[in-house]
Amino acid sequence: MSARERSVRTEGIILRRRDFGESDRILVLFTRKLGRISGIAKGSRKPSSKIAGHLELFMRSSFLISRGRNLHLITQAEVLDSFEGLRKDLQGIGQGSYIVELVDAVTFEEGSNLNLYELLLTTLEALDSGDDPMIITHFFELHLLGLVGFQPEFFICVECGKKITEQDQYISGELGGVVCPSCRTAVPGADIRPISVRMLKYLRHFQRSSLQELITLSIPLDVRKGIEEVIRYYLTHTLERHLNSPEFLNSIKE
């Protein structure tokens, strides 16, 4: 929000919320126009509040946001999509909560990123429709990494730059992607682990394809487990290592 604007109407998705004072709530939103915004919804825990029902976690609502003295004020909220299908059981709530937690972790105050907003929305809509949550979640994770500047390299060796050949390889979260067998020992002390060429092909497919292309895939159980492990490893490593670094903050500002 620029200094001249007193209030902005925008749609957004609720990333986080907590009670504040007697009857207020502090919300963290990821909005289409302003990116991530923290604000206070005064009186929103009172039974008489008109906006209370529009402020649930991972709900998509239309907000009126004004500039307060310290915090932004969320004065109006009207639900656009509550993702009821996702909200109907604990598993779905867990999936939705994980998606918004990840967005919360990689964004910063008032940094707008329209592509990330679209990715978040597409992901929640797909989960809500009941399609394969494993495919949707891993699609989201890999594309999120790309959008915040940490796309894993799956096509060339991150050490020697040579094209990856049809054989089993290695992968390193620390080095940013695939390491070829000849370079495996090139960086002593780096966390490098083996990855099969078959698994790598699936990961490339996830990274390059749209969700529509992926959603119809039938993925064997062992591959599901493998993808889960690699992405979990890569994501944890990247988040821990880069989240508070100046490089990371610059990369997501660009």
**Residue numbers at the binding site for Zn ion (CB under 5 A):** 157, 159-160, 180, 183
Among 72, 42, 75, 45, residue whose Cα is nearest residue 61? 75
Provide the residue type at 246 as one letter.
Answer: P
Q: Which is nearer to Zn ion, 59 or 179 (CB)?
A: 179
Phi and psi for 71 in degrees, rounded to 5?
A: -110, 160
Q: Considering the complex, what minimum distance in angstroms separates the CB of residue 160 from Zn ion? A: 3
Closest CA to 78 of 66, 67, 64: 64
Locus of tokens 């390193």: 172
Cβ closest to Zn ion, residue 197 vs residue 217:
197
- 105 or 160: whose CB is closer to Zn ion? 160
Instruction: Judge whether 65 and 39 are in contact, CB under 8 Å.
Output: yes
DSSP 244: T
Q: Which two tokens stand for residue 53?
A: 């029902």
Least separation, in Å, of the C-beta of 39 and Zn ion? Answer: 48
State both tokens at 180: 């070829």
Alpha carbon distance 201, 220 (integer Å): 13
Cβ atoms < 10 Å from Cβ of 93: 16
In the complex, minimum distance from the CB of residue 178 to Zn ion, in angstroms, rounded to a whole number: 9
Q: Which residues contact 145 (CB under 8 A, 6 or more apart)?
A: 151, 152, 234, 235, 238
- Is 106 or 183 the residue whose CB approaches Zn ion more closely? 183
* 3-class secondary-structure state, position 168: coil
- Closer to Zn ion by CB, 183 or 235: give it: 183
In terms of CB distance, is 132 or 159 closer to Zn ion?
159
